[in-house]
Amino acid sequence: MEKKLLSNSKIVGRHIIADLYGVKESKIAKKQDLEKIVEEAIAISGIKKIKSFYKQFKPHGVTGVVLISESHISIHTWPELGLVNLDIFTCGDLKKVESAFKVFIKRLEPKYHRKVILDRG
């Protein structure tokens, strides 16, 4: 059952869900390369990381999940398609989500992307 937001509801978090298309295979095929980009996005945005886990697929492709103090970041790649699925969710400083997303766009250089922002609360 869907609940309607009350007029006194408050945004408690921001969730960016994005698909990045036309990303060079060399940027998203190997765990070590993708991990550097994710960790850079976390550091630059000021998000506090608790723990991360990355899985290398054969022959290529990576899944990564980062537990952050405010929620999570997840990334999944299909190098053969030039595709990245990215989720960034925080219930902390909403600017940090946008900052991290900008780093991903700058470093992954997709030809285009689709981005949905969900304000949670």
CA distance 58 to 38: 20
Is position 1 within any domain? no
Q: What are phi and psi of 21, to 5 degrees?
A: -115, 145
The mean pLDDT values, 10 residues at a time, for the chain of 121 residues are 60 94 97 96 95 96 96 97 97 91 98 95 83
Residue-level length of the chain: 121
pLDDT given at position 7: 55
**Catalytic positions, written as ranges:** 71, 76, 91
In-domain check, residue 57: yes
Examine residue 87 and state whether it is found in any structural domain, yes or no.
Answer: yes
- Report the CATH number that the domain containing residue 87 is assigned in CATH: 3.60.90.10
Domain coverage including residue 89: 13-120
